[in-house]
Amino acid sequence: MSDTAATKASWDRIPVILRFEEKLKMTETYGFTGAQGFTVLEGQRLLPRDRPSDTVFLFMHPTSTLQLLPMPTALADAGLHVLCAGSRYAKNDSALIMEKVARDLGEYIRHAREVLGYRKVVLIGWSGGGSLSLFYQGQAEQPSITHTPAGDPYDLTQANLPRADGIIFIAAHLSRAETMTEWMDPSVRNELDPDDRNPEFDIYAPDAVHKPPFDAGFVARFRDAQRARNRRITDWALEMLETLKRRDNGEMERAFVVHRTMCDPRWIDPTLDPNGRKPNWTYLGDPRTVNSGPAGLARFTTLRSWLSQWSYDLSNAKGPTNAARIRETPVLQIENEADDAVPATHNPAVRAALATPDKEFVQIKGATHYYLGQPAQLAECIGAVLDWSRRKGFAN
């Protein structure tokens, strides 16, 4: 299969299948992956015809598959070699463990070099892939993790994670844990009954006590209540894991629902952390609808997964913490100025935390999260990627 145009490179989609042995105590995903002692990963290589290259640009998101999105295909159109890598949790993050996703990413980088023959690998961390790229490279440069936040052994210090040669951090948030906490509905008082709500923080109610524009004191109390809710769930998850261990009856995990996770004053008050985003809107649609919809962050999860990817205090994949571990890798950071997913405060926090002296920043004015209907902004972004890549020796 190929996408062609008169002014674009011709390229083919080529399946990439990885398989490695890994003994797990329980099956985490439905199907073959992990159930038979092997982890199987599926990706796609977007390979330009008659354009050899020693560099591949690797996209990976913890749970999404990215091969059909505008950015990877636009880079292939520009003649770059692209690898879109799916984790073992592709399209299902209910049991996702970030430490295992990092291992998956390392396997793709190793495959790109040892099997596909690329000399250089550049990570493109788009959206949720941004914090994953920081987490991965931080552990590749300075490995430290030997256990997951649930206490399960998973030793990244012995995984021999190969370093990427560069990182492009684009339209990306701080981390799953930090972003979801900023979106949690703090009005929820009873996790088993989402209708039991504290009216003080129920900003979507028709008769809401507080309405936009919100004052700074209310926003501060709102943020405190969001973090408190996250911590209550974390405490419960830790307690439940201990209960299951004491029972020792074969039950190792428990699934649960997290209600109402798209409630941020910024969605309905454009004066808060302003950027070019459309008010009363998110990348998933009307925030009032998304707040309780099935596609909400952390909607369906498990004890270990909550601790690894959603816990504000315990997740190892928080962006600024990992950015500070990256000291030797060149980083290009691209912010979409009208991003309707990534809050305007996130990119400055990552930029300030990055320890590498080789870091550059570009802002795309008016660009939304997906560049939907925005060919000019997408072209500007591709131009920034190409310019940086050529100057760093990653593209001709």
In the listed set 258, 275, 310, which residue is the last one of a domain according to the structure?
Answer: 310
Inter-helix orientation angle 70-77/375-391, to 10°: 60
Inter-helix orientation angle 216-247/176-183, to 10°: 120
Between CA 324 and CA 342 the distance in angstroms is: 20
Tell how strand 2-3 and strand 38-48 pair up: unpaired
> Which tens digit of pLDDT belongs to each residue from 28-46?
877 666 667 889 999 999 9
Same domain? For 21 and 116 the reply is: yes
Same domain? For 287 and 333 the reply is: no
Q: Please answer whether residues 13 and 48 qualify as being in contact, where contact means their C-beta atoms are separated by less than 8 angstroms.
A: no
Question: How many domains, in total, are found in the chain?
Answer: 2
Q: Please answer whether residues 210 and 203 qualify as being in contact, where contact means their C-beta atoms are separated by less than 8 angstroms.
A: yes
Same domain? For 146 and 42 the reply is: yes
On whether residue 332 sits in a domain, the answer given is yes
Minimal CA–CA distance to 148: which of 324, 309, 35?
309
Tell me the CATH number at 46.
Answer: 3.40.50.1820
On whether residue 396 sits in a domain, the answer given is no
Same domain? For 246 and 380 the reply is: no
Low-confidence ranges of the chain (pLDDT < 50): 1-6
Between CA 35 and CA 95 the distance in angstroms is: 14
Q: Please answer whether residues 48 and 2 qualify as being in contact, where contact means their C-beta atoms are separated by less than 8 angstroms.
A: no
Between CA 341 and CA 193 the distance in angstroms is: 27
On whether residue 357 sits in a domain, the answer given is yes
Backbone angles phi, psi at 270, to 5 degrees: -70, -5
- What are residue 161's DSSP bridge partners? none
Same domain? For 238 and 324 the reply is: no
**pTM, 2 dp:** 0.95
> Which tens digit of pLDDT belongs to each residue from 169-184?
999 999 999 999 999 9
For 29-95, what is the HEC assignment?
Answer: CCCCCCCCCEEEEEEEEEEECCCCCCEEEEEEECCCCCCCCHHHHHHHHCCCEEEEEECCCCCCCCC
Residue 239 lies in domain: 178-310
Q: What was the pLDDT predicted at 33?
A: 66
**Full strand arrangement of the beta sheet holding 166-170:** 2-3, 11-21, 38-48, 81-86, 55-61, 120-126, 166-170, 331-336, 359-364
On whether residue 381 sits in a domain, the answer given is yes
Same domain? For 132 and 251 the reply is: no
In the listed set 310, 339, 362, which residue is the last one of a domain according to the structure?
Answer: 310
On whether residue 249 sits in a domain, the answer given is yes
Helix, coil or strand: residue 18 = strand
Between CA 37 and CA 26 the distance in angstroms is: 10
Residue found under tokens 């088993």: 192
Q: Please answer whether residues 283 and 369 qualify as being in contact, where contact means their C-beta atoms are separated by less than 8 angstroms.
A: yes
On whether residue 368 sits in a domain, the answer given is yes
In the listed set 255, 287, 310, which residue is the last one of a domain according to the structure?
Answer: 310
Q: Where are the beta strands (DSSP E) in the chain?
A: 2-3, 11-21, 38-48, 55-61, 81-86, 120-126, 166-170, 188-190, 193-197, 255-257, 300-302, 331-336, 359-364
Same domain? For 246 and 320 the reply is: no
Q: What was the pLDDT predicted at 35?
A: 65
Between CA 125 and CA 61 the distance in angstroms is: 7
Same domain? For 73 and 200 the reply is: no
Same domain? For 12 and 104 the reply is: yes
Residue found under tokens 């990306």: 172
Same domain? For 201 and 70 the reply is: no
